[in-house]
Chain A
């Protein structure tokens, strides 16, 4: 049995203590927003927050979440479903293409801006380099983080 806080709600789930958080969240809790990409903590698609810190859930056993807070992409928006500044910027900058890696990207970006609300280009690169985007949306990710941080203006869709 694993007991932890999942997106603000206490849960108790019957799972092998060695089972990665990724599969507990996806298969047992039914939250599919967190993605499987590589299984070896190389791509970041599975990024969730453990007590606010970004971790690769594919390589973090559920035993490490015991009594702690796990936040997934489903827990990023506000209680009424209002999108976070980062999510809004991801829309205004039209970041996603296929979208598969974007849950992980947003989790990494959310952790970055929480720690460092006014990041430099280098700060953004360092915080985001663990997340692969095969569609190649990196330049938009950079811009969206700046928009969310108030460093850049959102784009105008009529332009």
Chain B
């Protein structure tokens, strides 16, 4: 345990930030204050900065704030907006420290390159959170970077990280620094001490002399003020916007059809054609031959292409392109993967676990002496759990609009990784990064799906090969079958209980370890003897980070197995968990609140039962209870309750919306989610057989937040998901005595 107080720890984090980061200011063209906040060269992240901003006087700038002469504050944010509300909440954090008038705050997506705004000292590049990541999350992103293999392209939105890193260490710092400079400029002009000037609603006020001015009046002068690299931040009792459920700024455009997503890109002056494409069904295979004779003569078809790794049709409309594509007969090369079916995948996993034996495999966690404790246990229980492959299935199909002309490339695409897209385009097209612009509008959902660059590269290659600017759209079937996937996983448990039923030995071996590294560890529970191991095993489909990543499987595995232990001990599952987290007041408070909110101890009505699960992920503790009605023989979800401790929630309603979404995402996977393999390819293809939870199947959801005040604050986008599936299956067990050790449950209640 760390004995530093939370406040002290936070100060030390800020000090660490100031060594790595910098604040720079300048005057806007036409007057006004511009503040950039970013990374210094010559520190760990400086290795990164030297790669993307190699000039001696160039530095990485992550976030910008401008205050123009109309008194409008614009927060220029590095993260993409994919539904998580980061644009709005980041601006809220900045505006609070700046004491800005919230009605006069705009949000702007930072562009992917610096062509629009270049100063002598800074270029627009973004490296959002690697420098500021809470220590525990660094392995996560290191792991992901290893996957991606492109540390230099660290403009990523993911890991439930935007608010707690960019928000805490950049937006707030920038807002506070800007405020201090404005106050300094007013103090000089008015000849009064800075300490006597108050700020409120983008106004500077000197009460004693009755003077008052808008920020705009001093924005230009403020740029000449000395820069405080570690401005003091507000304490929670001083917050005016942080902690309030301010309405999201992106929502009005999302109710009248004007919000522009990647697929809506209609760049002015670009007369694009449409492309539909077909990739191989089996990973690692390529086009052996194709017969496109029927397609070539179809209406609207401009070109048919064999690109080697895919086939494409370019046509006057997407519909025509897709219709023609469906008429092409393609023969693909043979796959070398020994895995052809779902059974093969799980057999490979079982073999790896069998070969590792009772003590083999790579160690993920070890404490005490599990084998001895198991030998001495009064009761030993064993179980094997399985989770299937899953697709992300964001509602906006995969797409990219690309133009390649005169040695330059422009793409418009929905992506979580715009700089990685730029690098991949540069490699594929042989065009310098400086001549590539990645425009990235709103994302129509992502959940980890848009962390790859391949679809942008495919679109640009078609544009380059044909000379047409193209809007390339993947069919839903292509996205379901030819993407990257949440891995299937197998996990075996053995536990020893003493005479009182307490868990004294916990032994677990599983396959597929990705991120976060601690996801497989039951770290919230006090268990004296623990062994968690990973068996190396082949994975047929390519890996993707899928909302909450490894927590999506381990949340289900661990929280189901803990429930099994509780029942084996003859204990109430809520009491059993409470006893094992008794040393952690935050976890106890979350469970106690859930107990009260869900009416856990109230008598249950005929056929219904509740289940509980608690998972800490991405810095946030979330406990959920789900109530099911089994009276029809099939589970009907009635209610879901979630209690969350993220330390301090910046926008409670936005946070609740994310948790609600995480629960629905988790319940969708629990009820329906499964991709099956046959002949090396995915069987499911669209929403008729890769089903999503619908409104009539969705329980009432109630979310409560505990602000325990601890820092750093936790994430919102992912932590709601992991407890949902086990809370549901634990409820089904409570109602029926049927323990579900494999998802999805729909297969077991067909």
* Bound form: Cα–Cα A23–B320 in Å: 10
Tally of contacts, chain A with chain B, CB under 8 A = 197
- Proximity bits, B32-73, A CB within 8 Å = 1, else 0: 000000000000000000000000000000000000000000
Interface of A: prevailing SS = loop
* Bound form: Cα–Cα A142–B699 in Å: 11
Check B687 against A132 for contact (C-beta < 8 Å): yes
Check A38 against B257 for contact (C-beta < 8 Å): no
Interface segment out of the listed B217-225, B588-596, B657-665: B657-665
Which B259-280 residues sit within 8 Å CB-CB of chain A? Answer: 259-261, 263-264, 266, 274
**A143: shortest Cβ distance to chain B, in Å?**
10
A128 within 8 A of partner (CB) = yes
B284 within 8 A of partner (CB) = no
**B686: shortest Cβ distance to chain A, in Å?**
5
Check B692 against A129 for contact (C-beta < 8 Å): no
B396 within 8 A of partner (CB) = yes
A43 to B, closest residue via Cβ = B687
Contacts of B245 in A (CB 8 A): 94, 155, 157-159
Contacts of A139 in B (CB 8 A): 660, 698, 700-701
Which of B84, B396, B695 meets A35, CB within 8 Å? B396
Knowing A36-B263, A77-B256, the reply to whether A100 touches B247 (Cβ < 8 A) is no
* Bound form: Cα–Cα A30–B442 in Å: 18
* Bound form: Cα–Cα A72–B473 in Å: 22
* Bound form: Cα–Cα A28–B445 in Å: 25
- Proximity bits, B640-682, A CB within 8 Å = 1, else 0: 0000000000001110011011111100100000000000000
Knowing A32-B260, A100-B445, A139-B660, the reply to whether A132 touches B696 (Cβ < 8 A) is no
**B15: shortest Cβ distance to chain A, in Å?**
34
**B391: shortest Cβ distance to chain A, in Å?**
11
Check B397 against A36 for contact (C-beta < 8 Å): yes
Check B444 against A100 for contact (C-beta < 8 Å): yes
Which A67-102 residues sit within 8 Å CB-CB of chain B? Answer: 72-74, 76-77, 83, 87, 90-91, 94-102
Determine which residue in A36, A95, A159 has the highest number of CB atoms from chain B within 10 A of its CB, and name it.
A36
Check A32 against B660 for contact (C-beta < 8 Å): no
Knowing A94-B251, A98-B396, A137-B661, the reply to whether A40 touches B473 (Cβ < 8 A) is no
Check B664 against A136 for contact (C-beta < 8 Å): yes
Which of A74, A102, A131, A137 meets B660, CB within 8 Å? A137
Which of A38, A95, A125 meets B476, CB within 8 Å? A38
B262 to A, closest residue via Cβ = A100
Which B456-477 residues sit within 8 Å CB-CB of chain A? Answer: 473, 475-476
B318 within 8 A of partner (CB) = yes
A52 within 8 A of partner (CB) = no
A39 within 8 A of partner (CB) = yes
* Bound form: Cα–Cα A27–B265 in Å: 11
A2 within 8 A of partner (CB) = no
Check A39 against B476 for contact (C-beta < 8 Å): yes
Contacts of B255 in A (CB 8 A): 83, 87, 90-91, 95-96, 99, 102, 106
Knowing A139-B698, A158-B245, the reply to whether A37 touches B317 (Cβ < 8 A) is no
Which A4-28 residues sit within 8 Å CB-CB of chain B? Answer: 16, 19-20, 23, 27-28
Knowing A98-B445, A99-B251, A138-B698, the reply to whether A23 touches B319 (Cβ < 8 A) is yes
A65 within 8 A of partner (CB) = no
Query: Which A residues are closer than 8 A to B by beta carbons?
Result: 16, 19-20, 23, 27-28, 30-40, 42-43, 45, 72-74, 76-77, 83, 87, 90-91, 94-103, 106, 124-126, 128-142, 155, 157-159
A–B pairs, 18, beta carbons within 8 Å: A23-B319, A35-B261, A35-B396, A36-B318, A37-B395, A38-B687, A42-B688, A76-B257, A91-B247, A97-B83, A98-B444, A100-B261, A100-B445, A131-B695, A136-B693, A138-B693, A157-B245, A158-B244
Q: Ordered nearest first, which 8 A-B pairs have the shortest CB separation? A: A33-B257, A136-B664, A100-B444, A98-B83, A99-B254, A97-B83, A73-B257, A125-B696
